[in-house]
Structure formats: structure tokens, C-alpha cells
Amino acid sequence: MRRGARGRGWAKVMITCDVLVVGGGPAGSSCAWKLRNTGLDVLVLDRKTFPRDKTCAGWITPAVIDELTIDLDDYRLGRVLEPLTGFGTGMVGGAEVVTRYDKPISYGIRRCEFDDYLLQRSGARLQLGEALKSMERDNGGWVVNGHIKTPLVVGAGGHFCPVARRLDGRPSGGEWAVAAQEIEFEMSDRQLQECPVPAGIPFLYFCDDLEGYGWYYRKGNYLNVGLGREDDRNLSAHVSAFCALLQERGRIPRDLPARFLGHAYLLYPHAQRKIVDDGVLLIGDAAGLAYPQSGEGIRPAVESGLLAAEVVRGAKREYRRANLEVYAKRLAGRFGKKYTRTTSERVPLKLKQFLARRLLVWPWFARHVVLDRWFLRRQEGSIRLPE
């Protein structure tokens, strides 16, 4: 820090970097990690200090482990890593079917641990505990918060990312977003005895109107319970009714911690955000990349961060929009075409409900469609990018 002109207090020293990543979650840390050994000086800015709490059901698929070359033996040292060998599926208040696999098909993690692990191993410089408050053009580059100069800003700050607001002007208004509430806490010995939740088997229950689903599952001694909906009207009432039903059935403790945490995200096919411009691009939830059927955002976040890093590398420090547009094309190639809500509502609701009540408890459909295709994306191989 240095004293300002004429003794008017203290001014921050100017920081320079080649790439500023705004947001230290899986998207931002994956992008920074992929840019290591490129000769680019990468700085990650985040308003939180790490480790920090993050609302998320929290499981990662083998594709994420493969794409980030995570050493599971190293990761599990002092961290929760719960092998998932099955899923329960059904509709809220209805029957359910449990699908089991002969090997782990995902791993339960705690986001406070996982995000910190990825960020610390990224190799980037960190500017934590500082929110992005201003972002101004300066000689073809950017000055952020009045003291960070960079030619390229990567927005990785989630659904309400301030870079998305600066780029698009409407990141939180007029969008078809999913709203969710959930809680994660360590159960006491009494709670474990009262509600013997099977470890390694998340349970997923679709809402009767098919506007979302609720879940509960145990990872280690931690229990995660939540519900998300595309229609966020009366969300708290839906969450309360879902928890009451689970408590009636003896699935979760009756003395849940009082406060559920909320978050929002966009489903990729419906997201209409501008994601690329001169000297700026968006990744992860900032770009609206969650999978449409499951709402999962970790794998799309990781893959978008890796794809963005490859495009940045190929741009060779020339970050005009024309050089960054290939990123948007690669996202479309990876995640498919987008469509509006109108085109997705051609099947009448009553028919969808009739089919859902029967299909969700049909073992073949639960395994091969709901789980393998929608939630685990087993049909999609890991992305392969050059080192």
C-alpha cells in the first residue's frame, strides 16, 4: 500500500496480470490450473476467503476426476470422499427404486474442501477476500477495482457473477433460472442412530409437477438435504413439505439445523447470456451451463474452464472478440444446441406426469435413462485437450 496524493489516505498498489479469473470455484480454478506452464501470469480474484461454505449437493463423476487428473488417494487425506455405488429414484411421496452398481460411479465431496483443494493446486496467484466492484476499459485492457490491470477477464463468479452483469447487462433478470435451497451438516451419534441413512446412495425425488426434484444423501457423517425448482414460487413451502415427508418416513433427523441456504443457476439449453466479448469471457454458472435434466454444474464448470484455457492459450495474448469466439463454438459443440422453454413444453403436463410415475420406478428406465444418461452422463467421454 502507498500513501495517496497530498496525504489523502492510502491507495492500493497497482497489480498487473495476464489473465484475471473472477471466481475461485471449480470453473475458475480449472481454467487457472489448465493455464499453468503457459508463461501467462494468472490471478484469481474472489470475494470470499478459502475454504468457504458453498451450497451444493456435492458429488463428482469419474469424468471430472479424469479431466482434472485428481489423485483420489491424495484427495481423501483429511477430506470427505464418499464412493457412490447406487441411487434411489422416484417421485415425492411415491414409490422408489434403488439402482446399484458394481463399482463407484461418482464420489460425494464437500464443496468447502473440494473447491479449496482445486484452487490451492491451480498454481495461480490469489487475491481473496476482495469482491469485484468496478471494471473499466483502459487502452484495450481492463482496470478492475481501480488497482488490477489485465488484458483478459474470465468471469467465473457463478449465477450472479459481476462480470456477467458487466458483459450482458441482465444476468439475474428475465432469465429462466432454477432456485434451490439445501443444507449440509455433520450428524451427531444420536442423529445417525435415529436416521440410519445409507452411505453412498443418494436419493432423488422428482416433484409431482415435474418442475424440479428433491434429494438427500449421506457423505461420511455429513447429511445433505435439498430441493430445487425451475418454478421458484413458494420454494420454501416445497422444501418444508419435502423435509416433513422425509422425517415422517424416518429418512432424516427431525431436528434439522434451522437455516437452509439458497442458490440459483441457469440450465444450459435455456441460457441466453452473452459469453464472449473483447477481452472477456464467461465460464461455469456465470455462462449458464448446468445440465438441463439434473441441474449438475460441476462437470460443465470444469469442462468450460478447460475449454476456455485452451482458447486463451491459442489466442496468443490477442484477446479480441474474434479470437475468443471459438470458445462459444466449442461450448456448443460440447453441450449441444440451445432451445427456448416453449419448444420444451410440447408434451402435455398430465401425460408427462402419467409417464413419470411409471417410468421413474421402472428399473431399466431408472438405470439407463435417469441415472446413466441424465445424471451421470456416462454416454459422454472425458474431454481431451493437449497439455
Confidence (pLDDT) at 150? 98
Distance CA 386, CA 40 (A): 17
Confidence (pLDDT) at 6? 38
Residues 6+ apart with CB under 8 A from 88: 96, 97, 98, 99, 201, 202, 203, 204
Q: Are 135 and 128 in contact (CB under 8 A)?
A: no
Confidence (pLDDT) at 55? 82
Confidence (pLDDT) at 232? 76
Distance CA 320, CA 307 (A): 17
* pLDDT tens column, 14-45: 999 999 999 999 999 999 999 999 999 999 99
SS3 61: coil
* pLDDT tens column, 308-366: 999 999 999 999 999 999 999 999 999 987 765 554 456 777 888 888 888 999 999 99
Bridge partner list, 143: 136, 149
Confidence (pLDDT) at 343? 46
Confidence (pLDDT) at 323? 96
Place of cell 436419493: 203
**Range 233-248 average pLDDT:** 94
Q: Report if pTM > 0.85.
A: yes
Distance CA 306, CA 32 (A): 9
Residues 6+ apart with CB under 8 A from 183: 224, 225, 226, 256, 257, 259, 260, 261
- Report the percent of the chain where pLDDT is more than 90: 74
Confidence (pLDDT) at 194? 81
Confidence (pLDDT) at 233? 85
Q: Are 178 and 212 in contact (CB under 8 A)?
A: yes
What's the chain's average pLDDT? 90
Q: Which of 71-75, 91-95, 354-358 has the lowest mean pLDDT?
A: 354-358
Residues 6+ apart with CB under 8 A from 220: 80, 82, 108, 199
* pLDDT tens column, 150-191: 999 999 999 999 999 988 765 555 577 899 999 999 999 999
